[in-house]
Amino acid sequence: MPRAQMTSRERILAAIRHEEPDRVPISPRVGAWMTAEYADTSLARQLEVLPDMDFMHIIGGPGGHQICTNPAGYDIPDVQVEQTRRDAGDCVIFERTFHTPAGDISDVTRVPPAGREYGVSPNPVKLEFLIKSRDDLDPLRCILPPVRMDPDTLRAYQQQLGDRGVIMVNIRSALDHNAGDARGMENLMIDYYTDRALFDDVLGLFHERSLAAVKAALEAGAEFIFGSWYYNSLSSGWSPAIFEEVFVPQIREHVELTHSYGALYDYYDDGKLAQSMELIAGCGVDVLETCTPAPVGDFDLAEAKRTIGDRVTLKGWVDLLYVVKHGTPELVEQTVREGMAIAKPGGGFIIGSSDSFREGTPRENIDTYFRACLEYGVYD
């Protein structure tokens, strides 16, 4: 006999408590698909067009900066910014210099256009990084804004969503669009071996800010922290040994701070997890996503359910590319059915996607995904 119907919020929280709700929560990532289909990723529009979704909606966190963006204007106290823009084929090159009280720093970024082979939200490419040496650390501090979060903004999202899900505040790791873009991932990997002091100082600067952002979000009333750690992924090139030595203590600090406020922590890595999931689970995270299977990732859902499934809620798993975008409706249904059979028992599973459903995904496959999730996710 089916269980009494729950709200999406109740359903998500029950799954995270490793209880069996009325059905498995359905919470795929949909930003890229919404952009392509509706040119609108707002929560209001998602609530309108996705009636069967259990929303774990992500909003921007405190402590944003302009390391990865090139706005038309800058408002940084005591800092003058020179920025030029020039065309380079179908891309745009931004060159900028920050004149700070501690000295000058500069960078160069290539920005591809949205659409075509670049996708709806192409990543900018750093041709020159802000941090070229230790001398750039003090000027960098001058351009980073205070870490603050407006409680009213968070409450407005929570009220808008109501019982259709939960609001999660996005906090990036020290690497994610922080040190990884200010210094460069390859440079940092070399620094680890050739200039460990610089490596530690760069990571330490941004880790301190990320912890401050967690605290600011929690003090503003956040119930969920969405921890973005994909630059830290083994898919980025880090070894399991470095992951354990350097990143695990940072993850643990994020999680312990979050739990000290009675909030929950969702850990995001859309890359390979087979060799890191035990370490991540050991940090006490509440949710682990995106659990990407082969061939893009290496996540074995059955093995994860057996080894860490009693400690961590597994979220995601359905391959956005080879199943949902390029597959048939029959493959989509089969994949959902298999995932439910493996991970549904005992709770602790939120079905989602390996990342955002992409532009060009057939609507029939999207509809089949939600229909199959509703059909096979019910608890008797």
Condensed to tens digits (0 to 9), the pLDDT of residues 155-170 reads 999 999 999 999 999 9
- pLDDT-derived band at 63, boundaries 50, 70, 90: confident
At 93, give phi and psi (nearest 5°). -105, 125
Alpha carbon of 237 to those of 213, 231, 251: distances in Å?
Answer: 26, 9, 18
Span 346-354, average pLDDT? 98
Span 264-279, average pLDDT? 98
pLDDT (0 to 100) of residue 115? 75
Burial class (CB in 10 A: 0-12, 13-18, 19+), 311: middle
Look up residue 140 and give its two tokens.
């960098």
Residues 6+ apart with CB under 8 A from 10: 21, 163
How do residues 81-90 score in pLDDT, each as one tens digit?
999 999 999 9
Span 245-265, average pLDDT? 98
DSSP-derived pairing of the beta strands 103-111 and 91-100 = antiparallel
- pLDDT-derived band at 119, boundaries 50, 70, 90: confident
pLDDT (0 to 100) of residue 52? 97
| Backbone dihedral region for residue 117 (phi beyond 0: left; psi -120 to 50: alpha; all else: beta) | alpha
Span 351-365, average pLDDT? 96
How many C-beta atoms surround the C-beta of residue 222 within 10 A? 27
pLDDT (0 to 100) of residue 64? 78
How do residues 204-216 score in pLDDT, each as one tens digit?
999 999 999 999 9
| Amino acid symbol at 123 | N
Could you tell me the pTM of the whole model?
0.96
How do residues 297-317 score in pLDDT, each as one tens digit?
999 999 999 999 999 999 999
- pLDDT-derived band at 121, boundaries 50, 70, 90: confident
Average pLDDT, the chain: 96
Span 245-264, average pLDDT? 98
SS (H, E, C) the chain: CCCCCCCHHHHHHHHHCCCCCCECCECCCCHHHHHHHHCCCCHHHHHHHCCCCCEEEEEECCCCCCCCCCCCCCCCCCCEEEEEEEEECCEEEEEEEEEECCEEEEEEEEECCCCHHHCCCCCCEEEECCCCCHHHHHHHHHHCCCCCCCHHHHHHHHHHHHHHEEEEEEEECCHHHHHHHHHHHHHHHHHHHHCHHHHHHHHHHHHHHHHHHHHHHHHCCCCEEEEECHHHCHHHCCCHHHHHHHHHHHHHHHHHHHHHCCCEEEEEECCCCCCCHHHHHHCCCCEEEECCCCCCCCCCHHHHHHHCCCCCEEEECCCHHHHHHCCCHHHHHHHHHHHHHHHCCCCCEEECCCCCCCCCCCHHHHHHHHHHHHHHCECC
- pLDDT-derived band at 1, boundaries 50, 70, 90: low
How many C-beta atoms surround the C-beta of residue 196 within 10 A? 10
- pLDDT(31) > 70: yes
Span 61-84, average pLDDT? 90
Span 316-321, average pLDDT? 98
- pLDDT(78) > 80: yes
pLDDT (0 to 100) of residue 2? 66
Q: Which residue has the tokens 């620094």?
A: 191
Span 255-269, average pLDDT? 98
- pLDDT(12) > 70: yes
Taking alpha carbons only, the member of 318, 338, 319 closest to residue 26 is 318
pLDDT (0 to 100) of residue 322? 97
pLDDT (0 to 100) of residue 136? 98
How do residues 216-225 score in pLDDT, each as one tens digit?
999 999 999 9
At 170, give phi and psi (nearest 5°). -80, 120
- pLDDT(199) > 80: yes
- pLDDT(3) > 90: no
- pLDDT(118) > 90: no
Comparing 1 with 188, the larger pLDDT belongs to 188
Q: Are 266 and 289 in contact (CB under 8 A)?
A: yes
pLDDT (0 to 100) of residue 68? 84
What is the percent of the chain where pLDDT is above 90?
92
